[in-house]
Amino acid sequence: MTTEWPPLPPIQTGIRGLCPRCGQGHLFDGFLSLRTRCEVCGLDYSFADPADGPAFFVICFTCIPAVAVACYIEVAYSPPIWVHLLTSLPLVLMACLLPLRPLKGWLVNSQFFYKAEEGKIDWDFRRPSPIPADKDKQ
């Protein structure tokens, strides 16, 4: 018996940490560690390899602005260190940690949705032969 699964949008299932195939099972076993398989449909998650993608996006889009705000507070107000401990430190920690799980879920689900796999060299590829200069002038 084969079960057909409708394609689910990776942004919706990934951000919620759900299985990319059925949209019901959980993707994570802990904060960032992936389960080995879906408990509902049995999809093996061994295909998933987001590598450093989530960390890269978090650094680029959330950490840099959070650190910029902390630097602005320092330059504009020159507060004592305890003010940074109460404002800047929680801001930077939340900006780093909160988006990691949704981004990792989205990247894993996108890998499944688009059938992404490791790149391979196509040794059978042949370049088209160049057109001789004489044929161009005719």
77: Cβ contacts below 8 Å, ≥ 6 apart: 83
Q: For the residues 112-133, what does the mean pLDDT come to?
A: 82
| HSE toward the beta carbon, residue 56, CA cutoff 13 A | 5
The whole-angstrom separation of Cα 118 and Cα 45 is: 15
The whole-angstrom separation of Cα 119 and Cα 123 is: 13
Dump pLDDT digits (tens) for 7-16: 999 999 999 9
Q: Classify residue 127: in a domain, yes or no.
A: no
Of all helices (H) and strands (E), which one includes residue 57? helix 53-58
Q: Classify residue 2: in a domain, yes or no.
A: no
Q: Is the pLDDT of residue 1 over 70?
A: no
Beta carbons within 10 angstroms of residue 16's beta carbon: 14
pTM: 0.80
C-beta of residue 65 within 8 angstroms of C-beta of residue 95: yes
C-beta of residue 57 within 8 angstroms of C-beta of residue 103: yes
Q: Classify residue 130: in a domain, yes or no.
A: no
Q: Classify residue 3: in a domain, yes or no.
A: no
Q: Classify residue 21: in a domain, yes or no.
A: yes
The 8-class DSSP code of residue 31 comes to S
| Domains contained in the chain, number | 1
Q: Classify residue 105: in a domain, yes or no.
A: yes
Would you state the structure tokens that stand for residue 63, as one six-digit string? 């950490």
pLDDT of residue 60: 92
C-beta of residue 134 within 8 angstroms of C-beta of residue 71: no
Dump pLDDT digits (tens) for 36-86: 999 999 999 999 999 999 999 999 999 899 999 999 999 999 999 999 999
Q: Classify residue 125: in a domain, yes or no.
A: no
| HSE toward the beta carbon, residue 93, CA cutoff 13 A | 7
Q: Is the pLDDT of residue 134 over 80?
A: no
Domain that holds residue 22: 10-117
Dump pLDDT digits (tens) for 78-114: 999 999 999 999 999 999 999 999 999 999 999 999 9
